[in-house]
Amino acid sequence: MPMAAFPPLDTSPNQAIKAIVDAALLEDLGHGDVTTDNLPKLAEIHKTAQLRVREACVVSGLSVAALVFQSVDPTLEFEPTVQDGQSVKVGDVIGKVSGPMASVLKAERTALNFLQYLSGIATETSRYVEAIQGTQTRITHTRKTTPGLRLLEQQAVSHGGGMPHRLNLGSCVMLKDNHLQALADKSANPIADAIRELRSRLSHTTKIEVEADRLEQVQQAVDAGADIILLDNMSPDTIRQALVIIDKRAISEASGGITLQTIRQYAETGVDCISTSKITLGVPAIDIGLDLD
């Protein structure tokens, strides 16, 4: 029996998140902690520390922080006092960790790094969601994420009220401009020909999305039976014209150059969803500290 090209992977979220946490701890503790390890009395001191936010935010990453503490020392007890996705104000305590101070101190920075970063994404996402309140449009992320952290970033977007996009290249067909430009060497209508070939090869449950930056491409995608049409770098007026062409025969997605200041104009076109990298790339971390009782 021939060997498979790739070994089977355990892609369950719990295993994937554990791998991310293990990598982060290896980065920080791979050579030990020369401060804490050489102060043995710290292991004899048991205290409770509070995780306190120093700015208003939407919390994300509590389950990841819990896994960090548990991975460093299974005797540590972590108690969240709020839930991921909850809005909190300055000074609120979002969790407590109790146990040997040596273990708490070893885990502190890694746990806070995850909490600060993911809460920043959730908070920024919530601003975009709030900006389009009252419309039918949904906010979603893109694949422009931090390598290795996409699963956590996707969860943080969800905690902020956004919706998940495809997690990876295996989640959904996406015919992008470069696919179509390359295929144009072999086809007069690359959108129609590509969709026809993909339908013949893939399961009926696999969705096909087509990126369109011109109205004629929108028409071609609709005629070819695309499930989703990405309206790329179009103005709100052009999107309205595209939606007339689509006529609810496919899900519409707007993307490209949309900011917090302009997003409501796009949502008011009636587009089904707006994808943006602004909620995952370069988002400021939230200031969260660990204070001893």
Q: Which residues are designated catalytic?
A: 109, 144, 176, 211, 232
Burial environment of residue 24 by CB neighbours within 10 A (0 to 12, 13 to 18, 19 or more): buried
- Name the residue type at position 102: A
Nearest to 285 by CA among 168, 114, 129, 161: 114
Terminal Cα distance for the chain, rounded: 62
Alpha helices in the chain (DSSP H): 13-29, 62-72, 101-131, 150-159, 177-183, 190-201, 215-224, 236-246, 263-267
Nearest to 59 by CA among 122, 124, 128: 122
What are residue 35's phi and psi, to 5 degrees? -80, -60
Tokens 């052009």 found at:
238
